[in-house]
Structure 1
Amino acid sequence: MLATPGTLPPPAVEDRWAFEVKQDGQRAMIYLPGDGTALVRSRSGADITPAYPELLPLADFLGSRPAVLDGEIVALDDRGHSDFERLQQRMGLAGSPARAASMAAQVPAHLMLFDVAHLDSRPVTGLPYTERRGLLEGLGLAGPAWSTPAAIVGHHGAQAWEMVRNAGLEGLLAKRLTSRYEPGVRSKAWLKIKIHHLADVVIGGWVPGRGRLNGLPGAVLVGEQREGLLHYAGSIGTGWSMADRIRLAEFLRSAAADHCPFTEVPPVAGARWVLPRLVGEVRYSTRTRTGRLRHPSWHRLRPDLAPDDLT
């Protein structure tokens, strides 16, 4: 079940919602059949179990109780906040168990659990959020690599918002107390309320940098997927570290293409085109009337998403 971008519910009705901190990690479903094994799948359905060996003991914690749990895999910084850049060092290692085990010691992953879809051999997706939340909390899932963060209920939406903003967190999730769990649906019963305007974009080209950035991307040209087409959304040249530019340069060279992937060729001198397969997340202030991003800056690569996930 996916959340819809939105704003805080009005104060008059916020007691009908629960508020959870929005974690900045990799969404995952955890399948625990009750036989001591665990299967972890990403949002795309890929088996990522070998990438996170520290999550396997969760199967022993629940014993013979079968369950399917929903959560976010994160890597925590020194403040205990989820840090996607740290987590990127753990992602993509499902095919290298030895490397994953080595990285687990350096960058531990932590599973933040927030919902349950199946428990004790029966689906619970039809139950309202409050009942599912009660079932989840009743499992007592607190361990070395997993936890069940608190949900705030009542007339506390504004206070929760101030809390996450002052803490420098990504935002809030507001979930209607009566909502059922809708697998595969982007529902308005779940709202994601971000501190900054963020957009998922597809990289379609780049412009070489100058001076100390010679040979590296000075800016990337990005677009947004609509109705199966990639529409140009703007040029982004800020928000990068040197390490980011060096890493991205490798991806761009391997994805080089002869033709522009956008519906219209952007009026950018010296542009080089790439296959539209790299997804990134950008911050921006507002949009122009034509949908272009104003004052965009780079936030991060999204290796957990494919362009088709954005349609």
Structure 2
Amino acid sequence: MTTLPRIAPMLATPGHLPPAATDGQWAYEVKQDGQRAMAYVEADGSLRLLARSGADITAAYPELAPLGAALGGVPAVLDGEIVALDDQGRSDFERLQSRMGLAGSPLKAARMAERVPAQLVLFDVVFLDGTSLLARPYAERRAALERLALDGPHWSTPSVAVGHGENALAMTREAGLEGIVAKRLTSAYEPGVRARSWIKIRHVRTVDVIVGGWVPGRGRLGGLPGALLVGERHASGLRYAGSVGTGWSDAERTRLAELLRVAAVDTCPFDETPPVAGARWVLPRLVGEVRYATRTKAGRLRQPSWHRLRPDLAPDDTG
């Protein structure tokens, strides 16, 4: 049996479209809104799925197990995104959340697979039939992936566009998708690195933040979070990034209240205590994604709005 190497996923850097003069040197993929996963397929057809954090999430997605047989005995390590689709065929992270965190509950995972089926969207192959492809250019890896013809009931290999970045961005905007990822055709695969050769271009600005505290709401929101105090990880600790007070549904606000209660501590986790009256502190372990307009000169988020909780990310995965 081939011993498959463990490979951390390569990460994209937030940014803008490449210059028009170099447009033909890039491929453009639809940015999926799901859970990143590395798929390890052994020669015997067994499948193992690892999240970006390194956690084994195989049991959470039983419908993906037949992918191994689809490779016909060829061992491989594939990179992709697990998504749940809405009624219009778009990836919907809120739907996927009901599938996440079930690796320790295989019976519940099997029931949820019937209600909210998952899809594994494949976009790279980094090890194939005993050979590492890490140093090969993206264009060559992509061609190898397409030759595998992995399109099944719960997995797919969507097409990419070479050049025409402006058109790709406009089409995803019109379709209500999150954005695109631009990948330089000559780029090697850099495990665990947030590289400039992969650029994610979103239609709204978002950032992954760590919750360090909260302020209780008033009136009917008494006991529930009226605002979250969030920060960003840097070399010496957790830097305060601002207060987020909009963007939740009632159900998510209630869920957050319980998570905050369990994580309560007496000391402020930020490098510098923010001047926020009535603040309550929590262990800096909850990760969320926030939409925002711009940043202040001090790096604070302007007009932030809560987008979603990120249970698939650990605090060290942000940035």
TM over 0.5: yes
**TM band (smaller chain):** over 0.9
Partner residue in 1 for 2:195: 187
TM-score by length of 2: 0.95
- Partners in 2 of 1:128 and 1:203 — Cα distance? 38
Q: Which residue, out of 163, 168, 173, partners 2:176?
A: 168
1:107 aligns with 2:92: no
1:208 aligns with 2:216: yes
1:177 aligns with 2:185: yes
Residues 217-247 of structure 1 show CA distances to partners (whole Å, capped at 9, x for unaligned) of 1111111111131111111111111011011
- Partners in 1 of 2:115 and 2:304 — Cα distance? 33
Partner residue in 2 for 1:127: 136
Partner residue in 2 for 1:17: 26
- Partners in 1 of 2:316 and 2:135 — Cα distance? 28
1:277 aligns with 2:285: yes
Deviation at 1:62, TM superposition (A): 1.0
Deviation at 1:153, TM superposition (A): 0.7
Partner residue in 1 for 2:313: 305
Match of 2:174, as an amino acid?
N
- Partners in 2 of 1:225 and 1:59 — Cα distance? 37
- Partners in 1 of 2:314 and 2:74 — Cα distance? 34
Q: Which residue, out of 217, 220, 242, partners 1:234?
A: 242
Partner residue in 2 for 1:218: 226
**Structure 1: gaps (5+ residues):** none
Residues 147-204 of structure 1 show CA distances to partners (whole Å, capped at 9, x for unaligned) of 00110013x1000010111112111100001111111221111111111111111111
Residues 122-151 of structure 1 show CA distances to partners (whole Å, capped at 9, x for unaligned) of 111121111111110111100000000110
Match of 2:16, as an amino acid?
T
- Partners in 2 of 1:40 and 1:235 — Cα distance? 35
Partner residue in 1 for 2:88: 79
Aligned-residue identity in percent: 68
Partner residue in 2 for 1:144: 153
**Structure 2: gaps (5+ residues):** 1-9
- Partners in 2 of 1:225 and 1:45 — Cα distance? 19
- Partners in 2 of 1:159 and 1:210 — Cα distance? 46
Deviation at 1:60, TM superposition (A): 1.0
1:41 aligns with 2:50: yes
Match of 2:145, as an amino acid?
L
Q: Which residue, out of 178, 197, 206, partners 1:198?
A: 206
RMSD (Å) for aligned C-alpha atoms: 0.9
* Runs of 4+ residues over 4 Å off in structure 1: none
| SS at 1:249 equivalent | helix
Deviation at 1:103, TM superposition (A): 0.6
| SS at 2:140 equivalent | helix
1:263 aligns with 2:264: no
- Partners in 2 of 1:177 and 1:85 — Cα distance? 32
1:59 aligns with 2:68: yes
Deviation at 1:310, TM superposition (A): 2.2
Deviation at 1:214, TM superposition (A): 1.7
| SS at 1:239 equivalent | coil
TM-score by length of 1: 0.98
Residues 21-75 of structure 1 show CA distances to partners (whole Å, capped at 9, x for unaligned) of 0001111110111102111111111111000000000011112111110000001
- Partners in 1 of 2:310 and 2:76 — Cα distance? 29
| SS at 1:127 equivalent | coil
Residues 105-127 of structure 1 show CA distances to partners (whole Å, capped at 9, x for unaligned) of 11111000000011111111121
Q: How many residues get paired?
A: 310
| SS at 1:160 equivalent | helix
Match of 1:193, as an amino acid?
I
